[in-house]
Amino acid sequence: MNIEVKNSIKPVDYIDSMKILEQRVKDVSLGKKKELLWVLEHNSVYTAGTSSNNKDLIDKNLHVIKTNRGGKYTHHSPGQKIIYFVLNLNNRKKDIRNLIDKIESCIIQILKEYNIESYNDSKNIGIWVNKEKKTKKIAAIGIRVKKWIAYHGFSLNVCNDLSKYKGIVPCGIKDKGITSLKEMGIKNYRNIETVIIRNFLNIFF
């Protein structure tokens, strides 16, 4: 498989990134361009997925952008790595559960390189860790599939401001917390985009 890899150094506007993703989906579908892996960060933005519920919006004054990815409310901000992809499942396996399994395996492997034990949860999509006897989410997954082209992706909390989640019920899950690599005691995460790209390509290339 031939995947173009992009790593944006400066934060990318959320709406601009969605336009780029949507165009890439069209181009991949028509065979005009390669599949894509894009690692970036966003400035502070709240987004609502296709299954979001207004009761999960605690602070009704928050500006929220509606998006066509799966999932509910989440927050993106500097210090959180966003991993967008456009993958052509027509040339792979037409199996969305298999795709999610691979994404989960990829994130678990990334965290293992930082000696963080993490796991998936069949009832709550995403990747979880145990911290101070509490289950906390460290990575969120939200995808969409159009004509068997899978896109959007996952986010990994590295050193973002976790207090920003207080205005929402993240992913609609009330009884679990949110954490990051920094909160888990990891001090050196400077080249994490390299680790992310290598693990993603190990699974999907």
Q: Can you give the residue range of the structural domain that contains 61?
A: 3-204
| Structural domains in the chain (count) | 1
pLDDT-derived band at 133 (thresholds 50, 70, 90) equals confident
Per-residue pLDDT tens for 75-123? 999 999 999 999 999 999 999 999 999 999 999 999 999 999 999 998 8
For 191, counting Cβ atoms within 10 Å of its Cβ (0-12 exposed, 13-18 middle, 19+ buried), the class is: exposed
Q: Which helix (H) or strand (E) holds 137?
A: strand 134-146
> Taking Cα atoms as reference points, which of 143, 140, 132, 19 lies closest to residue 77?
140
Per-residue pLDDT tens for 20-75? 999 999 999 999 999 999 999 999 999 999 988 988 899 999 999 999 998 889 99
Does residue 159 have an active-site annotation?
A: no
Q: What's the CATH code of the domain at 141?
A: 3.30.930.10
- Cα–Cα distance between 30 and 22 in angstroms, integer? 13
Per-residue pLDDT tens for 136-172? 999 999 999 999 999 999 999 999 999 999 888 776 6
> Taking Cα atoms as reference points, which of 197, 113, 92, 187 lies closest to residue 153?
197
pLDDT-derived band at 1 (thresholds 50, 70, 90) equals low
pTM for this predicted structure: 0.94
- Cα–Cα distance between 135 and 128 in angstroms, integer? 7
CA distances from 17 to 8, 14, 205 (A): 11, 5, 23
- Cα–Cα distance between 47 and 163 in angstroms, integer? 16
pLDDT at 66: 93
- Cα–Cα distance between 13 and 39 in angstroms, integer? 13
- Cα–Cα distance between 128 and 118 in angstroms, integer? 5
| Tokens coding 198 | 């290598």
Question: Of these residues, 87, 168, 171, 173, which one is catalytic?
Answer: 171
